[in-house]
Amino acid sequence: MVKSVDFAVRDYAGGVSRGMVAGDGASDFIQVGAGDEISLNLRKYNILKYVREGDDLQIVLVDGRVITLSGYYSAPEGQEAQLYISADNEISAVTLEDGGDGVLFAQYGAVEVIGKWSPNDQLAFMGGEDILAPIGDDDTTGMAAFAPLIGGLGTAGLAGAGLVGLGVLTGGGDGGGSGGAPAIIPTVDEPDADYTLTTNTEDPAAIVTGTGEAGSTVTVTLGDQTAETTVDEDGTWEVTFEDDTFPSDGDLTAIVDVVAPDGTEYTLDGPDFLIDMTPPEVAVTEGTQSVGDIENLVDYADGISISGTGEAGAAISVEVGGQTATTVVGENGTWTVTFTQDELPGGTYTEGMVITATDVNGNVTTITDTLVVDTEPHPITFDAVTGDDMINNADWQGGVTVTGTSTPGATLQIGLGTVTVTTLVGADGTWSAYFSESQLPTGEGDLTFTASTVDGAGNASSASHTVAYDTVVEDLSHATTTPNAQIADGIVNAAEGAGGLVVTGTVEAGSVVSVQLGNGAVLPASVTGGTWTVTIPAGMLPTTEVAGMALTVSATDANGNVATQSSMVDFDPVVRNFTVTPLVAGDNIVNANEAAAGFEISGTVEAGSQVVVRLANGAEQVVTAGADGLWSVSFDQSALSGLTGSMTYTVTATDLAGNVAVLNDNSSQSFTFDLDAPDAPIITDKTDDGSSTRAIYTSDSEGDHFTVSTVGADGTVSTVLDSDPISLGSEDLYDFGSGGRVPNGEYLVVTDADAAGNTASTLLVVDGNSDVTIDLGRDGLEQFDLAAIDLSYAEATLTITEEQLLALTGPDNTMIISGDANDNVTALGAQDTGQDAVINGQTHSIYTLGDDGASLIIDDQITHLTI
């Protein structure tokens, strides 16, 4: 242990405190306050150098230790700290001058010590710290003896100076001790001793002893335990930690606190105790029965390994079968031992195992386990298949059973090509596996059966057995069509049958072959070597759809043996039930709304057929007919050219058999389209009686006349007038008559429709008596394509949103709002395009509303406009 350096600090008020620094259990720094005087129990040659670090003074000793006087340079002017070094009854003041780079030059000045009343005796030390070499016989390094020249400190001063445990006596005056007797300084016996207590220690106990003044109270702390005793009359004391007071494991140092009868307190270092009463943990993780491991043949190839976990550094011994292997637990807490094949044999057996772990302190833990070895896989043999290892046609027709022997209870996988049969070996050691005729090949050649198994230890074994087979009887098994795939899908369509049906196959050389389709003529085949061919003329093939017509092939060999093969062929030479609905959009005229929503072309055809509808301008849609044979495609405005015109189209169908049919390939199928909606009706004037509208005047309609409707507050739509107007030249008059007058405030909708069904409506609200707030969310308005709203005949307030504009307008999503300075219009989110339009002689500004291309055209006479 490195012994500490004693120090004394006298503060600005004259109080003295003492302690130890720069040793085991002591700090490396002393906190310095303003006006403090610090004395270190050192000789000059103990000090290597002085260094300033900020406000701290560092004193570097020759053995490398550094004592830091924290805050030494932080005091205000006039209250600077003063450093002394003291040894051998002398005390020197240290004066430090800056030498650059933080290094300081030291000068030492003697300080007089004159009797017990000198204030300097509080800072003087008797001995010195012998760091480099002792002086004479002085061995008081570290915990040096402090003594004033003329008594006066008493036992309390000695304790504060760090003299506890050295047995130093000081007396005289009124300092300490009973009746003026010298004070007895307590000690600890063998304070530098190190003891080790483990599970191998007989009756383990930690005992700390020492000396002191009789009657003193001694408190010893060791780890998590504390014991107290009193110094006996003979001046000795003893504390024992055992049983319930035995400390927990650890590397512990006894701390001894002594309180003398006069109240003087001492703190002493006691001996060290290394306590380890915990046997090392050890467990098996791999290689034994307890963890479910069996040493199989693959594992055994590199020896038998046992692995586990334990206390790092502990020695591991594994004994099994008279063999022992050792290792040490690694820093990661794992261990492994391996027995070679020379040490432990292969085979099938179990063997007890003893595993011992011994930690660095000698504690031992022993566990037992079992080694399970099985390096012998199941044997497998085959019997001769069908008795002679030849599978003929008769064998093939009934299927084949393969047999053999193996270990009773073993599960075998018997394989043939891609087929695998699982079987269980019986108690008598025999096994069998059945392969049906569908699982066996036909023709001639060799085939190989395989058998494999894995035993409970994971040992794999396998065997194979090869046999011959010949199932050929007048080899007609390859009678098929030629590779032109005429009937590769089992169906002959019109194109495939146009040149006749070619049938070919193989047969035993020298055979005579004939072919018959349905109940037709029997046709002789041409035979060359082992190949035969026949062509059935197109005139003999069905011209209508026939499902399942028999194709029969017969062959007779040179000895008169006959083989026959029959297969079924479907014929489908036409596309059935192919039609197209003659009218597009119901009237063969596609208007704007129909184009926007998508207009259909539809018809019927065979279920599953592919239908292609192609417009004359190249637009095309492809669809598959449903199970009911119906088909339809939809085109929108993007498929049309311009706003008006006519369009021809063709329809092509391809059925599942590959037959193709075309309708209207002469461009005779067509429809017209008119996407140009009429202009919004313009209301030029109106007549009223003050409470209702009697008639309105309009510009000419694109159709024969306008339809006039009302939309009630409850959403009811009523037709007010649907008859020819009274022509007044450039205007038309619509007179509602006495029974049809429209009350003020009623929503009046005037609609124009062209021949294609395109419409445009104007919403008119008349009320000259009061303000009107127009609700565009009123039910019934969505039935019309409101191309315009006329506010000219009412002092109206109108708010319109993008959602309302899109809901109330036709495909162009454009609305005109006419009115005057008395009207208030709010178009939420509208953006001025900077463009104008002149309508009915009035300038209108054009606005966009929202992000979907909707437009508002608002009369500039409306000055109360909010956007």
pLDDT band at 90 (very low <50, low <70, confident <90, very high): confident
Tell me, what's the pLDDT at 258? Answer: 95
pLDDT at 102 over 80: no
Amino acid at 521: A
Q: What values do phi and psi take at 529, rounded to 5?
A: 60, -120
Q: In angstroms, what CA-CA distances link 297 with 303, 323, 343, 782?
A: 10, 20, 16, 85
Give mean pLDDT, residues 825-832: 93
Query: Which pLDDT does position 305 carry in this prediction?
Result: 95
> pLDDT at residue 780 above 50?
yes
User: What amino acid is encoded at 148 in this protein?
Assistant: P
* Alpha carbons 810 and 47: distance in angstroms, whole number: 104
Answer whether residue 479 shows pLDDT above 80: no
pLDDT for 496: 77
User: What pLDDT score does 456 carry?
Assistant: 84
Give 24-37 pLDDT, tens digit per residue. 767 888 988 888 89
Rounded to 5 degrees, φ, ψ at 843 are: -80, 135
- pLDDT mean over 589-595: 87
User: In Å, what is the CA distance from 656 to each residue of 624, 627, 628, 644?
Assistant: 10, 12, 15, 38
Asked if pLDDT for residue 503 goes beyond 80, the answer is yes
Mean pLDDT of 807-823: 91
Instruction: Confirm or reject CATH 3.40.120.10 for domain 282-374, answering yes or no.
Output: no
Cβ neighbours of residue 505 closer than 8 Å, sequence gap 6 or more: 476, 478, 479, 480, 513, 531, 532, 553
pLDDT score for 411 = 94
Q: Which range is least confidently modeled, 436-450, 464-478, 595-609, 770-784?
A: 464-478
Q: Which long-range contacts (CB under 8 A, 24 or more apart) does 404-409 make?
A: 404/380, 404/430, 404/431, 404/451, 404/463, 404/465, 405/379, 405/380, 405/381, 405/429, 405/430, 405/431, 406/378, 406/379, 406/380, 406/381, 406/431, 406/451, 406/453, 407/378, 407/379, 407/455
The b/e string for 238-271 (b: 16+ C-beta within 10 A; e otherwise) is ebebeeeebbeeeebbbbbbbbbeeebebebbbb
d(CA 865, CA 309) in angstroms, rounded, equals 86
Average pLDDT over residues 691-711: 83
> For the segment 635-671, what is each residue's pLDDT rounded down to a tens digit?
988 888 888 888 889 999 998 888 888 886 554 688 9
Task: Reply yes or no on whether the pLDDT at 481 is more than 70.
Answer: no
pLDDT in tens, 399-417: 999 999 999 999 999 999 9
- CA-CA distance, 39 to 50, in Å (whole number)? 15
Cβ 139 vs Cβ 129: under 8 Å:
no
Task: Note whether 205 and 277 are within 8 A (CB).
Answer: no
Strands 29-31 and 66-70: parallel
Asked whether the predicted pLDDT for residue 541 surpasses 80, the reply is: yes
Length of the chain, in residues: 867
Give the integer Cα–Cα distance in Å for 624 and 605.
10
Do 187-276 and 381-466 show the same overall fold? yes
C-alpha distance from residue 325 to each of 279, 304, 309, 328 (Å): 21, 11, 16, 11
pLDDT score for 170: 30
pLDDT of residue 475: 54
Task: Give 806's DSSP letter.
Answer: H
What are the φ/ψ torsions at residue 434 (nearest 5 degrees)?
-100, 135
Q: Which pLDDT does position 107 carry in this prediction?
A: 87
**pLDDT of residue 738 exceeding 80:** no
The closest of 209, 202, 227, 206 to 275, measured between CA atoms, is 206
Residue 158, pLDDT score? 30
Q: Which residues are 463's β-sheet partners?
A: 451
Specify the range with the lowest mean pLDDT, choosing from 10-19, 228-237, 326-335, 449-458.
10-19
Cβ distance 380 to 430 under 8 Å?
no
Q: Is the pLDDT of residue 482 over 50?
A: no
Q: b/e map of 447-476 (b: 16 or more CB within 10 Å)?
A: bebbbbbbbebebebebebebebebbebbb
CA atoms within 13 A on the CB side of 193: 14
Write the burial class of residue 568 (CB in 10 Å: 0-12 exposed, 13-18 middle, 19+ buried): exposed
Higher pLDDT pick, 459 / 485: 459
Q: What are phi and psi of 594, to 5 degrees?
A: -65, -40
Q: Give the phi and the psi of residue 808 in degrees, each rounded to 5.
A: -100, -10
- Classify burial at 680, counting beta carbons within 10 Å of its beta carbon; exposed 0-12, middle 13-18, buried 19 or more: buried
What CATH number has the domain spanning 480-567? 2.60.40.10
Which pTM does this prediction carry? 0.39
The four Cα atoms 402, 403, 408, 412 give a dihedral, to 10 degrees, of: -20
Beta bridge partners of 645: 673
> Residue 601: enclosing H or E segment and its boundaries?
strand 599-604
Structure confidence at residue 128 (pLDDT): 67
For residues 736-751, give the mean pLDDT.
82
Percentage with pLDDT > 90 across the chain? 47
The pLDDT tens digits of the residues spanning 306-340 come to: 999 999 999 999 999 999 999 999 999 999 999 99
Superfamily name and number for 187-276: Immunoglobulins (2.60.40.10)
pLDDT for 222 equals: 95
Q: Binning pLDDT at 50, 70 and 90, where does residue 478 land? A: very low
Structure tokens at 511: 């055979």
Q: What is the dihedral of CA 181, 182, 185, 190, to 10 degrees?
A: -100
Are 172 and 184 in contact, with CB atoms under 8 Å apart?
no
3-state secondary structure 336-385: EEEECCCCCCCCEEEEEEEEEEECCCCCEEEEEEEEEEECCCCCCEECCH
Beta strand extents in 699-793 (DSSP E only):
707-711, 717-721, 726-727, 732-735, 742-743, 747-753, 759-765, 767-774, 786-790
pLDDT of residue 685: 87
- Banded pLDDT at 853 (limits 50, 70, 90): confident
| pLDDT, position 177 | 39
Structure tokens at 430: 């025999």
Greater confidence (354 vs 474) lies with 354
> Does residue 648 contact residue 669 with C-beta atoms inside 8 Å?
yes
Poorest-confidence range of 103-107, 249-253, 360-364? 103-107
Q: Confidence class of residue 486 from pLDDT cuts 50, 70 and 90?
A: low
Name the residue among 709, 718, 783 with its Cα closest to residue 751.
Answer: 709
DSSP 8-state code for residue 730: S
Q: Which residues contact 816 (CB under 8 A, 6 or more apart)?
A: 680, 787, 788, 789, 839, 844, 857, 858, 859
| Rounded-to-integer distance, Cα 482 and Cα 534, Å | 10
- Residue 46: pLDDT over 70: yes
d(C-alpha 62, C-alpha 49), whole Å: 8
Indicate the class that CATH gives domain 579-674.
mainly beta
In the chain, domain spans: 5-150, 187-276, 282-374, 381-466, 480-567, 579-674, 683-866
Which has the minimum average pLDDT: 231-245, 274-288, 702-716?
Answer: 702-716
Those residues whose C-beta lies under 8 Å from the C-beta of residue 644, and which sit 6 or more positions away, are 672, 673, 674, 675, 676
The confidence band for 231, taking pLDDT boundaries of 50, 70 and 90, is: very high
Q: Which CATH architecture has domain 381-466?
A: Sandwich (2.60)
- CA atoms of 114 and 832, how far apart (whole Å): 107
Average the pLDDT over 472-484 and give the result: 50
**Between residues 375 and 157, which one has the greater pLDDT?**
375
The residues near 845 (Cβ < 8 Å, ≥ 6 apart) are: 832, 835, 836, 857, 858, 860
Please check whether residue 766 is in contact with residue 795, taking contact to mean a CB–CB distance below 8 angstroms: no
Per-residue pLDDT band at 147 (split at 50, 70, 90): very low
